[in-house]
Structure 1
Amino acid sequence: MLYQDDPTELKLTLYQYQTCPFCCKVRVFLDYYGISYDLIEVDPVLRQAIKWSPYKKVPILVAKLSQGYQPLNDSSMIISALSTYLKDKKDLREIVSCYPLITFVDEDGAKKSEIMNKYFQVLGQPAVAKEISEERKWRQWVDDVFVHVLSPNVYRTREEAFESFNWFSEAGEWEKHFPVWERSIIIFVGAWAMYFIGNRLKKKYQLKDDVRESLYDECNYWMRAVRAKGSKFMGGDRPNLADLAVYGVLCSIEGCQAFKDALVHTKIKHWYYAMKDVVDNHQGSQFI
């Protein structure tokens, strides 16, 4: 995506899956602020495009700087780091160093890694503590709760799983990016795998027997909080990072039956299309 009025002078490349909710979250942030970037679509089964990276998940955002290339990993860290850059124009390498990767062993004995401070903006200017704290809370809710109701709904049945993957193929223009045999493998293997994974995730996150009800509950939970603000968005008259995060993960399933059902059975439709308007028109660019 190329935006003529992009004031950041950043040269960014996003390695992504088109319909990955975390990748969508990053794209929504970049599009809202009118930040230019190149896209590389990664095969979600073979993942050949990111073999160079020790970090094996998407999104990966790579910034070309005068000193070389700077990768940014994890959607929330990417957004926090870029948000800091937009506000303070600090050196991007210096900003990234404020988000160290730590490795630890959890209570089950499994080795895990986590990026520290990923919901924090490293700001040199004063900010309203209550608003920033609330924004962080909702961004973490998106990653810890909301995103986990999506897969069990999108892959609720075998038929929905294949319908979803065919839509993913259309949305991601897989026929342009991958040969026919590779696209067929992605759809067939991916749909079957995600159908079984979706059922496991339903149990893991203790969703209701009818997983649609869990999706509706979380959409309405978010909308009650927005309405309590008495404003158009959680951020007021314009979206904050929490609005962008919720919209980002939700738009990842826009072509799926679960999304259509959510628009009918929850109060999220008006907010969602208001977000779509400001993101598609890059209205955040005026605030950089």
Structure 2
Amino acid sequence: PNEIILYQYEVCPFCCKVKAFLDYHKLPYRTVEVSPLTKKQLKWSEYRKVPVALLDGEIVTDSTAIITRLAAEIAGQEQQEQQQQQKSHGEEEWRRWVDERLVRLLTVNIYRNMRESYQTFDYITASSCNFGFFEREAARVVGAVMMWGISGRLKKKYGIEGDVREELYQAANKWTEALGDQRFHGGSKPDLADLSVFGVVRSITCTDTFMDLMHTTRIGTWYEHMMDAVGDSTRLSTS
């Protein structure tokens, strides 16, 4: 596509998945920050969850669908030939695992206690351009208390048993074990599974959860390789 516009929350893990894909493939894009309180930027859309992408004016919703659509356009016919190889080493299974397991583990971890919940909302509100001072403070305090309060219910809802940090460590090590002796899941180059895991992990960069993950598990080396492979952001200035 000649024009890509991504309606997003800056630190939403699903939005960060899409941005990782765009950055890696050097696709220029613009972002529109959606207000989590009013979502007025999406008033034209029946679908009210982020991310929403406009690809040359065509609406595409859901992070996995957006990435799949763009990947098919980039590779064209070659993509169809590669799909069988990708399925053989579990690329699609890992992409589902990211959405159904990893994102949920990250969520319950960044809100696991009041201190980390406040830290997370400091990060979220500082990253958003849609908050004035009073809105930011209200969102930070109310959001942090609310998410800490429901974190236990989220844990039960997602079927996460035991210590949430240990569960996250196990998930990270499961991912690195799947890499074997390869640099990336895709071999010499990242595949869609690599980009999906990287995107959601990068979304929590400024949190204790991220630092603990890097220091306690084996994911750090792979993450550094991904940082190098993805490179600088290709986001265009909004000015």
Alpha-carbon shift at residue 36 of structure 1 (Å):
0.8
Secondary structure in structure 2 of the residue aligned to 1:253: coil
Indicate whether 1:137 and 2:93 are aligned.
yes
State the 4+ residue runs in structure 1 displaced beyond 6 angstroms: none
Query: Separation in 2 of the partners of 1:15 and 1:202?
Result: 28
2:82 to 127, 132, 140: 127
1:215 to 148, 168, 172: 168
Q: TM-score, normalised by structure 2?
A: 0.91
Alpha-carbon shift at residue 79 of structure 1 (Å):
0.2
Indicate whether 1:15 and 2:7 are aligned.
yes
Aligned partner of 1:87 in structure 2 is 75
Q: Quick one: percent identity of the two aligned structures?
A: 39
Q: TM-score, normalised by structure 1?
A: 0.76
Which of the pair is proportionally richer in helix? 2
Secondary structure in structure 1 of the residue aligned to 2:55: strand
Secondary structure in structure 1 of the residue aligned to 2:28: coil
Aligned partner of 2:58 in structure 1 is 70
Aligned partner of 1:252 in structure 2 is 203
How far does the alpha carbon of each residue in 1:119-138 deviate from its partner, in whole angstroms, 9 at most, with x for none?
xxxx6742262423511111
Distance of aligned partners of 1:237 and 1:58 in 2 relative to their CA distance in 1, 3 Å threshold? same
1:151 to 107, 119, 128: 107
Query: Separation in 2 of the partners of 1:204 and 1:136?
Result: 24
Query: Separation in 2 of the partners of 1:36 and 1:203?
Result: 40
Indicate if the aligned counterparts of 1:45 and 1:190 stay in contact, CA closer than 8 A: no
Indicate if the aligned counterparts of 1:15 and 1:39 stay in contact, CA closer than 8 A: yes
Query: Separation in 1 of the partners of 2:18 and 2:145?
Result: 27
Query: Separation in 1 of the partners of 2:217 and 2:114?
Result: 25
**Structure with the greater alpha carbon radius of gyration:** 1
Structure 1 spans left out of the alignment, 5+ residues: 1-7, 90-122, 284-288
Indicate whether 1:59 and 2:51 are aligned.
yes
Distance of aligned partners of 1:267 and 1:49 in 2 relative to their CA distance in 1, 3 Å threshold? same
Secondary structure in structure 1 of the residue aligned to 2:97: helix
* Number of equivalent positions: 233
Query: Separation in 1 of the partners of 2:214 and 2:153?
Result: 25
1:27 to 8, 19, 40: 19
Distance of aligned partners of 1:273 and 1:141 in 2 relative to their CA distance in 1, 3 Å threshold? same
Indicate if the aligned counterparts of 1:153 and 1:258 stay in contact, CA closer than 8 A: yes
Structure scoring higher RCO (CA < 8 A, sep ≥ 6) equals 2
1:46 to 18, 38, 44: 38
Query: Separation in 1 of the partners of 2:45 and 2:232?
Result: 33
Aligned partner of 2:117 in structure 1 is 161
Secondary structure in structure 2 of the residue aligned to 1:232: coil
Aligned partner of 2:194 in structure 1 is 243
Paired AA for residue 141 in structure 2: F
Aligned partner of 1:195 in structure 2 is 148
Aligned partner of 2:237 in structure 1 is none
Alpha-carbon shift at residue 282 of structure 1 (Å):
7.2
Alpha-carbon shift at residue 19 of structure 1 (Å):
0.8
Indicate if the aligned counterparts of 2:121 and 2:143 stay in contact, CA closer than 8 A: yes
Secondary structure in structure 2 of the residue aligned to 1:207: coil
How far does the alpha carbon of each residue in 1:197-231 deviate from its partner, in whole angstroms, 9 at most, with x for none?
3221111223233210011010001010012xx21
Secondary structure in structure 2 of the residue aligned to 1:72: strand
Structure 2 spans left out of the alignment, 5+ residues: 235-239
How far does the alpha carbon of each residue in 1:160-192 deviate from its partner, in whole angstroms, 9 at most, with x for none?
11111102223x2x3x43322222232222222
